[in-house]
């Protein structure tokens, strides 16, 4: 039996923001923190990463200089108990200094590309957390079960009254939006 690494031994109140920030970067890249608990995330498949990278590149071209598009970065949704997610793609205010913690008020859009191991998190948990934090736009990209070469983008917009996401549209094959950025893309170019 393999012993757990020291960084996985949590105090009863869970991992604090300071304890998380003290972890090595290599550890942080593979975990998320939900209510202070460590959630280990498996390395995504290459096809998943290709979609993320290509969509991030398209978003970056559409975003202009006032917005930054990143992938595989921490997003601090709450400090106590610590809620730290790593969205597949995040679009945020370019004025944010590199050393500053990325928080919901800096973000305009988060995108999750669903994988077989992240269905519940991507369809239920993360959208609820992002909406409660006040992030205006959420997109979830899914592969069709019968045809993994066919993508659908489920786009949602925050209802400021309920702080829940309201479905805006489901796009299959192509995406044409003017909000939060002006973007037109054929999904085949992401595969």
Of the listed ranges 1-15, 32-46, 70-84, the least confidently predicted one is: 1-15
- Per-residue confidence (pLDDT) for residue 105, from 0 to 100: 98
Structure tokens, 15: 């991992």
| Distance (Å, whole) CA 117 – CA 44 | 9
Q: How far is CA 92 from CA 22, 35, 110, 150, 188, in A?
A: 24, 24, 9, 28, 26
Say if residue 1's pLDDT is above 70.
no
- C-beta separation of 129 from 158 below 8 A: no
Say if residue 149's pLDDT is above 90.
no
Q: Any residues with CB less than 8 A from the CB of 167 and at least 6 apart, and which?
A: 154, 155, 156
| Distance (Å, whole) CA 140 – CA 155 | 7
Span 18-38, pLDDT tens digits: 999 999 998 999 999 999 999
Say if residue 6's pLDDT is above 80.
no
Of the listed ranges 53-62, 139-148, 172-181, the least confidently predicted one is: 139-148
Say if residue 4's pLDDT is above 70.
no
């Amino acid at each position: 039996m393999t012993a757990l690494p020291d960084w996985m031994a949590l105090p009863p109140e869970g991992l604090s923001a300071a304890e998380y920030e003290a972890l090595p970067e290599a550890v942080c890249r593979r975990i998320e923190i939900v209510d202070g608990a460590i959630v280990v995330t498996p390395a995504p498949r290459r096809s998943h990463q290709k979609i993320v990278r290509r969509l991030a590149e398209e978003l970056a071209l559409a975003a202009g200089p006032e917005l930054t598009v990143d992938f595989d970065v921490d997003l601090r949704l709450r400090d106590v108990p610590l809620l730290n997610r790593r969205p597949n793609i995040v679009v945020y205010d370019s004025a944010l200094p590199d050393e500053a913690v990325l928080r919901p008020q800096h973000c305009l859009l988060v995108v999750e590309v669903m994988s077989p191991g992240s269905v519940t998190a991507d369809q239920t948990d993360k959208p609820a957390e992002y909406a409660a934090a006040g992030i205006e736009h959420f997109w979830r990209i899914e592969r069709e079960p019968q045809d993994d070469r066919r993508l659908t983008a489920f786009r949602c917009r925050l209802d400021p009254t309920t702080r829940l996401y309201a479905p805006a549209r489901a796009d299959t094959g192509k995406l044409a939006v003017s909000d939060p950025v002006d973007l037109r893309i054929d999904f085949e170019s992401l595969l």
